[in-house]
Amino acid sequence: MVLSIDSWVHHLEEAGFVVTVDKTKDLRSARERLGVPADLAACHTAEVDGYVMEGHVPAVAVRRLLEKRPTTTGLAVPGMPVGSPGMEGGEPQPYDVVLFGARGRQTFMRAIGAEEVG
């Protein structure tokens, strides 16, 4: 199983995003500063055009968020679902991409691997 931020970054680059990686050992402080709820924390945190991405968020969800531009903090994929971008290998599991912010949270999309489902 691939378990790497580099794989997630590659997924975003393949989708046409320009990515700059700034590695830090203090992700907790970064998540607090960016407003990521502790129960949505995953293995990496990113900023994309004013939004926060937490965990293995697929590029299709990032693109949809940037098209819709809702008033929110960002998107999260809690945990590390097998088959999500950066977690390739094994039998892909369905997972929720969660929209979170001051107005609460809701499922933004459901995915398997890097693709939206149902």
pLDDT tens string 81-111: 999 998 988 899 999 999 999 999 999 999 9
Neighbouring residues of 62: CB distance < 8 A, sequence distance ≥ 6: 12, 15, 17, 48, 53, 75
Output the pTM of the full model: 0.92
pLDDT at res. 25: 83
